[in-house]
């Protein structure tokens, strides 16, 4: 049986959406899917080394930010970076930083980003991956 492929475009760099992406990655890993993640604009900010662990921005119901973050802590939910790391250990997950998005946040080389990132690429690679994927999500 052919391995299914998930293509995940991360536009948002907010902790609520990155946490959701981590949950989706866990499901894809449990299904042994191949996963290609493309880190776009605002998400590139979150993937910068200096921002990944300190970013507490939320995109949805911003007036409930403190409640949301407290719930993650109460539930002992892993930080989104840990969820991504676990998925990478379980299945074939590649994380690609969009070159333009990286430059927007002064990220010009792979070393500017957290160690989850595998490479820096052009947007054409995302388009090709999305066309070939069984599932394409944009978060």
Burial 92-117 (b: 16+ CB within 10 A, else e): ebbbbbbbebbeebebeeeebbbebb
Q: Report the 3 state secondary structure along 18-67.
A: HHHHHHHHHHHHHCCCEEEEEECHHHHHHHECCCCCCCCCCCCCHHHHHH
Sole residue written with tokens 């993650």: 72
* Domain 5-138, architecture per CATH: 3-Layer(aba) Sandwich (3.40)
pLDDT score for 71: 95
pLDDT score for 75: 96
* Measured distance CA(16)–CA(22) in Å, rounded: 10
pLDDT score for 69: 95
Q: 29 Cβ partners below 8 Å, 6+ apart?
A: 35, 86, 87, 90, 91, 93
Domain assignments of the chain as residue spans, ordered by start: 5-138
Apex 56 CA angle, 95 and 88, nearest 5: 25
Cβ(118)–Cβ(85) under 8 Å?
no
pLDDT score for 2: 87
pLDDT score for 1: 72
pLDDT along the chain (139 residues), means of 10: 94 97 97 97 98 95 94 96 97 97 97 98 97 97
Model pTM? 0.95
Beta bridge partners of 120: 97
């Amino acid at each position: 049986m052919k391995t299914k492929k998930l293509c995940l475009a991360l536009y948002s760099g907010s902790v609520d959406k990155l946490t959701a992406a981590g949950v989706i990655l866990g499901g894809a890993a449990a299904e042994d899917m191949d996963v290609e993640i493309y880190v776009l604009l605002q998400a590139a900010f979150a993937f910068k080394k200096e921002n990944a662990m300190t970013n507490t921005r939320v995109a949805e119901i911003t007036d409930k930010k403190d409640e949301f973050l407290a719930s993650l802590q109460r539930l002992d939910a892993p930080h989104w970076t840990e969820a991504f790391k676990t998925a990478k250990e379980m299945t074939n997950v590649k994380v690609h930083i969009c070159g333009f998005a990286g430059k927007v946040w002064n990220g010009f080389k792979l070393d500017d980003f957290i160690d989850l990132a595998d490479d820096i690429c052009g947007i054409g690679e995302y388009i090709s991956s999305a066309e070939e994927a069984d599932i394409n999500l944009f978060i």
